[in-house]
Amino acid sequence: MHDATPLIATIVGGLVLAFIFGAIAHRLRLPVLAGYLVAGVVAGPFTPGWVADAHIAQELADLGVILLMFGVGLHFSLKDLLSVKAISVPGAAVQMAVATGLGMLLGWLLDWPLAQGFVFGLALSVASTVVLLRAMEERRLLDSDRGRIAVGWLIVEDLAMVLALVLLPAIGGFLGTEKGGSSATMGALLETVAWTVGKVVVFVALMLIVGKRAIPWTLQAISASGSRELFRLAVLAIALGIAFGAAHLFDVSFELGAFFAGMMMGESKLSQRAAEETLPLRDAFAVLFFVSIGMLFNPGILLEHPWIVLAACLIIIVGKSVAAFAIVRAFGRPAKTALTIATSLAQIGEFSFILAGLGVSQGLLSEQARDVLLAAAIVSILVNPLLFAALDRWIARHDSDAPEDHPDAIAGHTVLVGYGRVGRRVFDELHAVGARTLVIESDEDAVRELRRKDIAEIVIGNAAAAPVLAEANLAGARALIVAVPDPFEGGQIVRAARALRPDLPIVARAHSVECVAHLDGLGASDVIYGEQELAHSMFEAAQPRRGSPAH
């Protein structure tokens, strides 16, 4: 048997450990990403036993971030990006300035050099793409106003980090020079800024002029060949190829290049299929991202400098959040939106690590400060799901957009969970027969569409949460229809509903025989298997009509 190469060992070890500790975390009712982080600590160099290759793990994690940003770009049009520029651009700039200033203040209190305090504060100011987008996807918020603002905010931070990584050596020199040498350094700094911005502008222009036409055309041509394998390969080649080219030709980050590749591919009618083809890879590499973070963590820093770690955590979780909340509210957005953005940004991740690594290599950041940064990142990532859970409960109780008539007064109604492609059709059928319907939905655009129709009661939130289901008055409901596409999310809803009312008729949708068994085991009364229903309909359509000649 051949010895495993570092690449194979890292992939296999990372995924196996992530599965084991993720399952344990889920069993203990903790966020599964906590298990992924622990898996990374176990596989890292600071704990006994097997040690994975940290460099390879980081590169695999980078692939996960690229694919994730590509997937976001597929669902995010240029119109969406421009629609939130008025709040995302100044909001991200002010929030990053506040976090950087707080980091520099902490550095000043610790007698750090000015350059070190600046780099440390800048690293605290930028949120993790993976953590934020996973939280948004779990709550189906990416297509909502809150999701668009958060993604726009991320893009601005990404662009700022592109500049920061290029300018860091010059910035360090400027902050560390004597007064007499400042003018020359400032001139070089401005020249570097202009050159970097120019390359970013050229890249964006190429994507908008050439990519907007070439990428959908290529996808359409490959689809016409009829080969699913080639189509999947084309999607990955476009996503990774543009990300790589953007980084090496224009000094744009991999993430930003992948986002624009996805956004241009989103102009194609095949964008939904492209998203489905890349989903398994995105999920697998996202797991490796969290494992790679855990590998960087040195638990000893919590014993050596606990108060510095605590101060850094407070800047990330409290300082950034308060700044973001105040900014969003200042733009006249509701408290729900402000709290969502604030919670989304209350963590740091991949760009912080890249910046810290460059800072150490340039002599601008000490290894102690880097270890504090990594510890604070781990803590903030672990705390973030708990903050989102608290936010979900707050929204369920205090949503200012909720209808004035409380749903508890409804009786004999049908509860429909999910107003997507299938949910809309189910709703129309229910409305056609005059059935009173209550819809549970978390997507703001879908809620606005329902409000315009003014023919349904609405509960806003995640139906898997007991308080949200309680608002739907299941005790007086005639039936529950679970129309969400994700079988795991659907299973959570079925289980929660069955616990609230054992005799309630529950109808759910499934995409496979395994999903049917899964939902049936959790208490669904009827599970509609799409392929089975389609096969039955095709069989019925192929039967000779009464009165038609037999062949």
Which of 102, 146, 105 has the alpha carbon at shortest distance from 401? 146
Domain boundaries of the chain, sorted by first residue: 6-398, 407-542
Cα atoms in the Cβ-side hemisphere of radius 13 Å centred on 544: 6
Helices (H), ranges, 84-144: 85-109, 114-124, 129-138
Cβ contacts of 418 within 8 Å, gap of 6 or more: 440, 441, 463, 482, 483, 484, 485
Q: Answer whether 281's CB lies under 8 Å from 27's CB.
A: no
Q: What is the pLDDT of residues 444-499, one digit of tens each?
A: 677 778 877 776 688 877 787 766 777 788 888 899 999 888 777 888 888 888 88
**DSSP track, 181-209:** GHHHHHHHHHHHHHHHHHHHHHHHHHIII
Q: What pLDDT does 176 receive?
A: 52
More confident of the two residues 81 and 116: 116
Give φ, ψ of 460 to 5 degrees. Answer: -95, 125
CA 154 to CA 146: how far, in whole Å?
Answer: 12
Residue 299 per-residue DSSP state:
T
pLDDT at 166 over 80: no
CA 229 to CA 250: how far, in whole Å?
Answer: 31
Cα atoms in the Cβ-side hemisphere of radius 13 Å centred on 268: 26
Rounded to whole angstroms, the maximal C-alpha distance in the chain is 100
Structure tokens that stand for 505 in this block: 């008729």
Which of 297, 294, 371 has the alpha carbon at shortest distance from 40? 294
Structure tokens that stand for 295 in this block: 């590998």
Residue 225 per-residue DSSP state:
T
Structure tokens that stand for 334 in this block: 């509701």
Structure tokens that stand for 301 in this block: 């820093």
pLDDT band per the 50, 70, 90 thresholds, residue 179 = very low
pLDDT at 405 over 50: no
Q: What pLDDT does 157 receive?
A: 87
Q: Which residues pair with 480 in a beta bridge?
A: 415, 506
Give φ, ψ of 400 to 5 degrees. Answer: -75, -15
Q: How far is CA 440 from CA 233, 388, 415, 472, 488, in A?
A: 38, 19, 7, 8, 17
Cβ contacts of 322 within 8 Å, gap of 6 or more: 342
Q: What pLDDT does 117 receive?
A: 92
pLDDT band per the 50, 70, 90 thresholds, residue 93 = very high
Average pLDDT of the chain to the nearest whole number: 83
Q: Which residues pair with 528 in a beta bridge?
A: 509
Q: What pLDDT does 151 receive?
A: 86
Is CATH 3.30.565.10 correct for 407-542? no
Positive or negative, the Cα torsion across 262, 265, 266, 267? positive
Q: Answer whether 400's CB lies under 8 Å from 334's CB.
A: yes
Q: What pLDDT does 318 receive?
A: 94
Q: What is the pLDDT of residues 486-533, one digit of tens each?
A: 777 888 888 888 888 889 999 998 887 778 888 888 888 888 887 777
Give φ, ψ of 415 to 5 degrees. Answer: -95, 120
Which helix (H) or strand (E) covers residue 414, if one does? strand 414-417
Q: What is the pLDDT of residues 438-449, one digit of tens each?
A: 998 877 677 778
**DSSP track, 328-377:** HHHTT--HHHHHHHHHHTS---HHHHHHHHHHHHTTSS-HHHHHHHHHHH
Structure tokens that stand for 425 in this block: 């059709």
* Rg of the chain on CA atoms, in Å: 26
pLDDT band per the 50, 70, 90 thresholds, residue 548 = low
Which helix (H) or strand (E) covers residue 155, if one does? helix 145-176
Task: Please name the residue that has the structure tokens 């315009």.
Answer: 452
Q: Answer whether 84's CB lies under 8 Å from 315's CB.
A: no
**Coil, helix or strand for 507?**
strand
434: left (phi over 0), alpha (psi -120 to 50) or beta: left
506: left (phi over 0), alpha (psi -120 to 50) or beta: beta
Q: Where are the beta strands (DSSP E) in 442-532?
A: 457-460, 479-482, 506-510, 526-529
Q: What pLDDT does 328 receive?
A: 93
Q: What is the pLDDT of residues 193-222, one digit of tens each?
A: 788 788 888 998 999 898 888 998 998 888
Q: What pLDDT does 110 receive?
A: 93
**Helices 54-74 and 254-265, interaxial angle, to 10°?**
30
Q: Answer whether 513's CB lies under 8 Å from 529's CB.
A: yes
Share of the chain above pLDDT 90, in %: 21
Please give the average per-residue pLDDT across 24-50, as a whole number.
86
Please give the average per-residue pLDDT across 134-146, as a whole number.
78
pLDDT at 403 over 60: no
* Weakest mean pLDDT among 117-126, 267-276, 342-351, 473-482: 267-276
**Coil, helix or strand for 28?**
coil
Q: What is the CATH number of domain 6-398?
A: 1.20.1530.20
pLDDT band per the 50, 70, 90 thresholds, residue 173 = low
Cα atoms in the Cβ-side hemisphere of radius 13 Å centred on 238: 32
pLDDT at 57 over 70: yes
pLDDT at 414 over 70: yes
Most confident option among 1-10, 41-50, 182-191, 349-358: 41-50
Which of 88, 129, 73, 80 has the alpha carbon at shortest distance from 242? 73
